[in-house]
């Protein structure tokens, strides 16, 4: 409880920008080390002691309170989660020309984006600074603060003491049943020990953004569990089937927003910042990875450009050159804003090598709406569970959000040199993954 009080009482408000970074966490309870609850769903390496974060109930209460007290925002319930039936909220605020669609915590164990976004909403609802004015005048935000309430609240008895600890998990808690689709899709994970199975919802999107448009009975499946879509002459492998109500709600939200910018926040495991740790320089971790969504204009720059591969396996063929450039500019803004903090911990943004994932939010929303995309992936994992780790993730996310939103709002994004994106290093080696398995992050 102490930690909860701390984080909520300490301003992560945008006015103060960031916590002081001097928080001293009592990490004793956080060192549960390498226990991997249940498995084999991926991503639980990132499981936290979540007491520092808002529960679904608390988030709902906060959003309703803000909505009651501010006439600037509109709050809508756009759906309910599959397992718990908890509300999915959408906040709209601002009346600028540029539309921003922002989603957080589609992976339930990646909570920091939600916390920072709640402060952003509060600031936009009540703030009177010049910055708030600029954001409200320049942008129209459509925000889904927490896409995965089931995963966010997931509890499991990780230390077999007979009590369930609140740890969160990547997937929602929704069983696949025959009749839902021709085959059980690859991104549905069964789990042992009576824990409910669920979907990795960042694989459940479909470029149609419309569940009714999906015909998986006649379509081709590869290796039985992978649904491939034929779309405008391309084969979009491993597409999603929009089987989760959460994804259907987010897709509808994105279509309503018709965004110029589509943004999604994640966590990742720990990676070395390239070039650190050799010679006399100490090693450091990357604080955040960023990822754009770009099209054929940059195919020859892709780190995964197999010249023999179909274009849709290397880049997103539906993202035009101008939108691709804006997407790169967003990434550069984040890198520069963090580097400018003058603290070497933050001067360590890397890029997450891009290739399309046809069931993901980014690679379906961007082509369908013409949005420039940005995926933030803040670094935080088992060893970072303490208060300092959380503070760093909050800081990096806050700085990243503000750098991009302000540049979108005042148009200065157009002045950013997109070429600098290619100077951002790819993430270095992963650090001691305690489970020895590859963790799919984005």
Give the binding site for Zn ion (CB under 5 A): 107, 110, 266
DSSP state, 90?
E
> What angle (nearest 5°) sits at the alpha carbon of residue 244, between those of residues 230 and 261?
70
CB of 17 to Zn ion, least distance (A): 25
**Which CB atom, from 3 or from 203, has the smaller least distance to Zn ion?**
203
Instruction: Please give the full DSSP string across 170-220, using - where no structure is assigned.
Output: SS------TTSSSS--TTEE--STT---EE-GGG---TT--GGG--TTTSE
Name the closest residue to Zn ion (Cβ): 266
Among 23, 165, 57, 53, CA closest to 114: 53
Among 315, 321, 199, 208, CA closest to 255: 208
Q: How far apart are CA 379 and CA 94, in angstroms?
A: 30
CB atoms within 10 A of CB 278: 10
**Which CB atom, from 73 or from 251, has the smaller least distance to Zn ion?**
251
**Which CB atom, from 237 or from 266, has the smaller least distance to Zn ion?**
266
Q: How far apart are CA 243 and CA 176, in angstroms?
A: 9
Q: Phi and psi at residue 185, in whole multiples of 5°?
A: -70, 155
CB of 64 to Zn ion, least distance (A): 27
Q: How far is CA 166 from CA 27, 49, 107, in A?
A: 16, 7, 15
**Which CB atom, from 323 or from 441, has the smaller least distance to Zn ion?**
441
CB of 41 to Zn ion, least distance (A): 12
Q: How far apart are CA 376 and CA 378, in angstroms?
A: 6
CB of 393 to Zn ion, least distance (A): 13
Is 357 strand, coil or helix? coil
**Which CB atom, from 216 or from 377, has the smaller least distance to Zn ion?**
377
For the chain, how many residues are written?
442
CB of 136 to Zn ion, least distance (A): 29
**Which CB atom, from 75 or from 357, has the smaller least distance to Zn ion?**
357
CB of 289 to Zn ion, least distance (A): 11
**Which CB atom, from 110 or from 216, has the smaller least distance to Zn ion?**
110
**Which CB atom, from 188 or from 266, has the smaller least distance to Zn ion?**
266
CB of 24 to Zn ion, least distance (A): 28
Is 32 strand, coil or helix? coil
CB of 441 to Zn ion, least distance (A): 5
């Amino acid at each position: 409880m102490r930690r909860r009080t701390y984080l909520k009482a300490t301003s992560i408000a945008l006015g103060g920008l960031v916590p002081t970074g001097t928080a001293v966490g009592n990490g004793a309870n956080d060192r549960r080390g390498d226990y991997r609850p249940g498995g084999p769903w991926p991503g639980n390496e990132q499981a936290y002691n979540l007491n520092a974060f808002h529960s679904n109930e608390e988030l709902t209460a906060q959003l309703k309170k803000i909505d009651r007290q501010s006439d600037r925002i509109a709050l809508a319930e756009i759906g309910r989660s599959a397992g718990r039936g908890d509300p999915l909220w959408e906040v709209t605020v601002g009346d600028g020309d540029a539309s921003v669609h922002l989603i957080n915590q589609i992976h339930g164990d990646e909570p920091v984006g939600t916390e920072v976004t709640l402060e952003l909403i509060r600031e936009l609802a009540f703030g009177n600074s010049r910055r708030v004015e600029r954001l409200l005048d320049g942008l129209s935000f459509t925000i889904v603060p927490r896409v995965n309430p089931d995963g966010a609240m997931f509890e499991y008895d990780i230390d077999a003491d007979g009590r369930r600890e609140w740890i969160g998990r990547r997937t929602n808690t929704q069983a696949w049943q025959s009749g839902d689709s021709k085959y059980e899709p690859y991104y549905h994970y069964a789990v042992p020990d009576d824990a409910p199975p669920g979907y990795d919802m960042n694989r459940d999107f479909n470029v149609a953004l419309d569940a009714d448009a999906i015909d998986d009975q006649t379509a081709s499946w590869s290796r039985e569990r992978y649904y491939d879509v034929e779309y405008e002459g391309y084969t979009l492998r491993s597409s999603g089937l929009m089987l989760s109500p959460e994804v259907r709600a987010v897709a509808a939200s994105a279509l309503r927003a018709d965004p110029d910018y589509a943004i999604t926040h994640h966590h990742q495991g720990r990676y070395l910042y390239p070039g650190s740790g050799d010679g006399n320089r100490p090693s450091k971790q990357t604080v955040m990875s960023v990822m754009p969504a770009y099209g054929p204009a940059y195919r020859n720059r892709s780190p995964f450009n197999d010249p023999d591969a179909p274009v849709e396996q290397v880049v997103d063929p539906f993202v035009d050159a101008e939108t691709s450039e804006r997407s790169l500019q967003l990434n550069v803004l984040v890198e520069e804003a963090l580097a400018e903090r003058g603290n070497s911990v933050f001067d360590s943004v890397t890029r997450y090598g891009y290739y399309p994932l046809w069931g993901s939010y980014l690679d379906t929303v961007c082509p369908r709406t013409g949005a420039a995309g940005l995926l933030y992936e803040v670094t935080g994992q088992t060893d970072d569970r303490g208060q300092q780790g959380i503070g760093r993730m909050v800081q990096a996310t806050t700085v990243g959000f503000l750098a991009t939103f302000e540049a979108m709002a005042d148009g200065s994004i157009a002045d950013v040199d997109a070429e600098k994106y290619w100077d951002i290093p790819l993430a270095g080696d992963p650090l001691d993954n305690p489970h020895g398995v590859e963790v799919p992050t984005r």
